[in-house]
Structure 1
Amino acid sequence: MTIIYLLIGISLLVALLFLGAFLWSVRSGQYDDTYTPSVRMLFEDEEPPLR
Structure 2
Amino acid sequence: MSVIYILITVSIVVAVIFLIAFINAVRTGQYDDDYTPSVRMLFDDEVKKNTNKLINTQTEKQKSI
Confirm or deny a common fold (TM above 0.5): yes
Q: How many residues align?
A: 39
Query: Please, what is the CA RMSD of the aligned residues?
Result: 2.0
For 1:30 and 1:6, how far apart are their aligned partners in 2? 33
**Structure 1 spans left out of the alignment, 5+ residues:** 44-51
Higher RCO, 1 vs 2 (CA within 8 Å, ≥6 residues apart): 1
TM-score normalised per structure 1: 0.65
**Structure 2 spans left out of the alignment, 5+ residues:** 43-65
Query: Shift of the alpha carbon at 1:32?
Result: 1.0
TM-score normalised per structure 2: 0.52
Moved over 3 A (4+): none
Q: Name which one, 1 or 2, has greater alpha-carbon Rg.
A: 2
Q: Percent identity?
A: 49
The AA in structure 1 aligned to 2:14 is V
SS at match of 1:8: helix
